[in-house]
A and B are shown apart, each in its own frame.
Chain A
Amino acid sequence: MLNDILQSIPQVLIDGLTLGTVYAVIALGYTMVYGILELINFAHGEIFMTGAFIGTAMLIVLTGIGWVSALPAIVMLITVLLLTALLTGLLGMGIERVAYRPLRNAPKLIPLITAIGISFLLQDLVRFIAELKKGNYIVTGPSLFTSQIKINSSAISSVFNDASIKSSFIIVLVSAIIMMVVLDFFVNKTKWGMAMRAVAQDRETASLMSVNVNKVISLTFFIGSALGGATGVLFAVQYGTIDPYIGFILGLKAFTAAVLGGIGNIRGAMLGGLLLGVMEMFASANLTLMTGGVFGAEYKDVFAFAILIIVLIFKPEGLLGKPVAEKV
């Protein structure tokens, strides 16, 4: 049994990293908003989904235009990524303006409820736009970067099987890493990043130090949503088929990743995302084997939620977070 598990490890690692980077970038959106407002932006998963749809729509349109499709695919993808990021960023800002800002001083339950409302609204809007245009809300994008690369991992040691990767995996990985590094630099090294950290620490004192709190919060939503939307495009390119309901379960898992790493902590979210992705892939590949067929791969979602519940019970501050004492 151990042998079987070992053999599949290279493939599990690669698939896990692909999924993990997606989780990690979405988790960033949750963790940034939580760090600054102490609010779970439930609609974030839906922003990711909207990004995936906007990106796919653009790709479909662009590949239909003759001279554009002659361009290298990577140029097209980068344009689409940037445009989608801009649009979803604005969408995120708009959501904050309409649904969260008026409720900033309301009891905590209320913004959570508007967040659920927004997320349902977005799901259905995207559903009927897609259904109007395509006749079906499950959309398949144009296939780019489909060439398979074989990694000869059996050459390293004979216990491993060979693994294969789609070339889009490299694009997902590289763009996600670029996004994370740039974000880390932005938050830790620039003036706006400093303002964000100040607002996260103490909103009132920050505003006394002439930080424009509303602007900083808007900016946070813009960045988080732009990252989420761009990840949506990457997801669509990597996995091909999207539907309006992918955002919900993926967002939930990304949130799990954020909690796992320590919510409010940006590096924690990245770590949590990668860990969760690898663990989930490991579970879905090996659960059947490990439990002798009692539990199958269909329990992988249960597995992710179980991790969330266990982390919240035993280490609510997460792997990299610091425990906070509640002030009375």
Chain B
Amino acid sequence: MKKLWNAYSENKLFQGVFLLIFIAVTSLSLYLAQKSVTAFLLLLSSLLLLYFTKFSNLVKWLIAGVILVVLLPAAAGGGDAFESYMEVATLVGIYISMALGLNIVVGMAGLLDLGFVAFFAVGAYTYGIFATGQASNFMPFGTYPLSGESFWLFIVLGCLAAALFGILLGIPVLRVKGDYLAIVTLGFGEIIRIIFNNLDKPVNITNGAMGIASITPPKIFGIELIYSSQFYYVVLIILVFTIFTVRRFEHSKIGRSWKAVRENEIAAQSMGVPLVRTKLIAFAVGASFSGMMGVIFAGKQTFVDPTSFTLLESITILVMVILGGMGSVPGVILGAAVMTILNLQVLAEMTNWLNELSSSGAITIPDALSPSKMQRLIFGALLIVFALYRPKGLIPAKNPVYKEEELVSSKVLDMKQDQKVQA
């Protein structure tokens, strides 16, 4: 068995063939059995299989692109369940993007932020207010609601607004550290929610607890986007952009500064890392991804209200980051996907199943124990188990390891070359 495994993990051809068979079987079974959630999940998990193959990065991206852009919608597209699958996939994308944003703040810069959903709310309300008649209550010029084409501009605006809020939060927070930071961000998240909840007077800006309804759906080339399957592609594009940006940030100068600040602030400062700027950038960048997705969320749901932005949401995103592995981009993507699917599909399916069982009289499960109500219990247990036994998450972050001998020998070589040049 072990021999077989070794042969598999060494041989690219083996991996390729296996992956191909796996994808073919799962997409075929999804196409044939439209109601099978298992097939849908297995098809998604082929991406994970792909991640662990030995292909080059470009090949991996290409295969992933084919699966996500063509295969998944095509395989799911045959039946009535199409939109619900696409809904799940879209939400997975939104959450992955937010988790990647939080990963910058918590995982890379080591600043525990418990009010992260506030930035999502800022993004969602930015579009929500201007794409409905709400804005005419306080804006002296312009006619509202704005047309659906403005959505694309608002993705950028939402991103900027959230970044601005990130900096606003960052400025007072910079003087506090560690645990205090967690509490202050938590307080900030609650403050934002309470303000949105009550900003219907004196001037009606957010329509208070009623929420903003019938937001103009986005429009492109005269087509209105109203279906999840259309948003799926929008989210996919932004998600690719997010992953690309986060990757670039991670290996840049600022990314290394974040990690230095995380490991030891004082040491980082004495090595010349500007603390204030580094932390503020972390807050702003992390928040901006969340703001972008907030705009998309508002456009997709066409309805925003303060109950979507509670502490539970912030903690859910935190669980995603911790489950996947703090600071690890592939880990966080996996964590976010697992949590969202668990939340939307697995728990809902289990609830349905139990309901069917109890209505047929086989067993009786009291309503209080229905799985979809147990989110908090599951999230809590996951947090504890992972913090205790696997604090680095499912896919731990990899830091480049330099071997001492190699560094020394390369340095010696460099010096020799220098001497040659000089001579």
Instruction: Identify A116's interface contact among B202, B315, B391, CB under 8 A.
Output: B315
Mask, A171-187, CB within 8 Å of B = 1, is 00000000000000000
Are B368 and A308 in contact, with the CB atoms below 8 A? no
Instruction: Identify A308's interface contact among B106, B184, B194, B374, CB under 8 A.
Output: B184
Are B380 and A103 in contact, with the CB atoms below 8 A? no
Residues of chain A within 8 A (CB-CB) of B403 are none
CB proximity of A4 to chain B, nearest CB, Å: 20
Chain A CB within 8 A of B183 CB: yes
Among B176, B184, B194, B380, the most chain A Cβ lie within 10 Å of the Cβ of B380
Interface size class of A (residues with CB under 8 A): 35 or more
Residues of chain A within 8 A (CB-CB) of B172 are 309, 312-313
Instruction: Identify B374's interface contact among A113, A124, A293, A328, CB under 8 A.
Output: A124
B189 nearest in chain A by CB position: A305
Interface size on B, residues (CB 8 A): 47
Are A114 and B387 in contact, with the CB atoms below 8 A? yes
Pick from A86-94, A125-133, A143-151, A203-211 the stretch touching chain B: A125-133
Instruction: Identify B384's interface contact among A99, A259, A302, CB under 8 A.
Output: A99
Instruction: Identify A255's interface contact among B183, B367, B369, CB under 8 A.
Output: B183
User: In whole angstroms, what is the CA distance A128 to B184 when docked?
Assistant: 30
Instruction: Identify B180's interface contact among A110, A249, A252, A316, CB under 8 A.
Output: A316
Interface residues of B in 356-383 (CB under 8 A from A): 366-369, 373-377, 379-383
Chain B CB within 8 A of A239 CB: no
Chain A CB within 8 A of B195 CB: yes
Instruction: Identify A112's interface contact among B182, B187, B377, B382, CB under 8 A.
Output: B182
Mask, A81-114, CB within 8 Å of B = 1, is 0000000000000000011001100101111111
Mask, A31-74, CB within 8 Å of B = 1, is 00000001110000000000000000000000000000000000
Known: A255-B183, A302-B195, A312-B184. A117 touches B380 (CB 8 A): yes
Interface residues of A in 276-320 (CB under 8 A from B): 293-294, 296, 298-299, 301-302, 305-306, 308-309, 312-313, 316
Are B266 and A113 in contact, with the CB atoms below 8 A? no
Are B175 and A312 in contact, with the CB atoms below 8 A? yes
Are B184 and A309 in contact, with the CB atoms below 8 A? yes
Instruction: Identify B388's interface contact among A114, A127, A301, CB under 8 A.
Output: A114
Chain A CB within 8 A of B110 CB: yes
User: In whole angstroms, what is the CA distance A293 to B198 when docked?
Assistant: 12
User: In whole angstroms, what is the CA distance A249 to B391 when docked?
Assistant: 28
Are A113 and B376 in contact, with the CB atoms below 8 A? no
Grouping DSSP codes into helix (H, G, I), strand (E, B) and loop, the A interface class, with mixed when no group exceeds half, is helix
Chain B CB within 8 A of A235 CB: no
Are B381 and A39 in contact, with the CB atoms below 8 A? no
Chain B CB within 8 A of A121 CB: yes
Residues of chain A within 8 A (CB-CB) of B188 are 305, 309
Known: A293-B202, A312-B176. A116 touches B183 (CB 8 A): no
User: In whole angstroms, what is the CA distance A313 to B170 when docked?
Assistant: 12
Are B198 and A299 in contact, with the CB atoms below 8 A? yes
Are B368 and A113 in contact, with the CB atoms below 8 A? no
Residues of chain B within 8 A (CB-CB) of A118 are 380, 384
Are A132 and B182 in contact, with the CB atoms below 8 A? no
Known: A102-B388, A110-B387, A120-B377. A132 touches B183 (CB 8 A): no
Among B180, B373, B374, the most chain A Cβ lie within 10 Å of the Cβ of B180
Chain B CB within 8 A of A326 CB: yes
User: In whole angstroms, what is the CA distance A5 to B191 when docked?
Assistant: 26
A121 nearest in chain B by CB position: B380
Instruction: Identify B382's interface contact among A99, A117, A316, CB under 8 A.
Output: A117
Are A328 and B266 in contact, with the CB atoms below 8 A? yes
Chain A CB within 8 A of B313 CB: no
Residues of chain A within 8 A (CB-CB) of B369 are 128, 132
Are A132 and B366 in contact, with the CB atoms below 8 A? yes
Are A109 and B112 in contact, with the CB atoms below 8 A? yes
Instruction: Identify B190's interface contact among A128, A301, A328, CB under 8 A.
Output: A301
User: In whole angstroms, what is the CA distance A252 to B180 when docked?
Assistant: 12
Are A40 and B379 in contact, with the CB atoms below 8 A? no
Chain B CB within 8 A of A248 CB: yes
Chain B CB within 8 A of A218 CB: no
User: In whole angstroms, what is the CA distance A306 to B195 when docked?
Assistant: 13
Known: A123-B376, A124-B374, A309-B187. A302 touches B194 (CB 8 A): yes
Known: A110-B387, A113-B322, A302-B191. A312 touches B381 (CB 8 A): no
User: In whole angstroms, what is the CA distance A102 to B384 when docked?
Assistant: 11
User: In whole angstroms, what is the CA distance A118 to B180 when docked?
Assistant: 19
CB proximity of B336 to chain A, nearest CB, Å: 17
User: In whole angstroms, what is the CA distance A294 to B201 when docked?
Assistant: 7
CB proximity of B98 to chain A, nearest CB, Å: 18
Are B184 and A124 in contact, with the CB atoms below 8 A? no
Chain A CB within 8 A of B178 CB: yes
Chain A CB within 8 A of B179 CB: yes
Instruction: Identify A119's interface contact among B195, B373, B380, B391, CB under 8 A.
Output: B380
Among A117, A122, A127, A252, the most chain B Cβ lie within 10 Å of the Cβ of A117
Chain A CB within 8 A of B281 CB: no
Chain A CB within 8 A of B186 CB: yes
Instruction: Identify A40's interface contact among B183, B195, B315, B384, CB under 8 A.
Output: B183
Known: A114-B388, A309-B172. A120 touches B376 (CB 8 A): yes
User: In whole angstroms, what is the CA distance A127 to B370 when docked?
Assistant: 12
Among A121, A301, A316, the most chain B Cβ lie within 10 Å of the Cβ of A121
CB proximity of A220 to chain B, nearest CB, Å: 17
Residues of chain B within 8 A (CB-CB) of A299 are 194, 198
Residues of chain B within 8 A (CB-CB) of A249 are 190
Are B377 and A298 in contact, with the CB atoms below 8 A? no
Residues of chain B within 8 A (CB-CB) of A114 are 383-384, 387-388
Residues of chain B within 8 A (CB-CB) of A120 are 315, 376-377, 379-380, 383
User: In whole angstroms, what is the CA distance A91 to B384 when docked?
Assistant: 16
CB proximity of B423 to chain A, nearest CB, Å: 45
- 3 closest Cβ contacts across the A-B interface? A117-B383, A120-B380, A131-B368
In the complex, besides A114-B388, A296-B198, A306-B191, 20 extra interface pairs with C-beta distance below 8 angstroms are: A112-B179, A113-B318, A116-B318, A117-B380, A117-B381, A117-B382, A117-B383, A120-B377, A121-B384, A123-B376, A123-B380, A124-B374, A127-B373, A131-B366, A132-B366, A248-B311, A294-B201, A312-B184, A316-B176, A316-B180
Name 21 A/B residue pairs within 8 A (Cβ), A-sorted: A39-B179, A102-B388, A116-B114, A117-B381, A117-B382, A117-B387, A121-B377, A121-B384, A123-B380, A124-B375, A124-B377, A128-B373, A255-B183, A259-B180, A298-B194, A298-B198, A301-B190, A309-B184, A312-B180, A313-B172, A316-B180
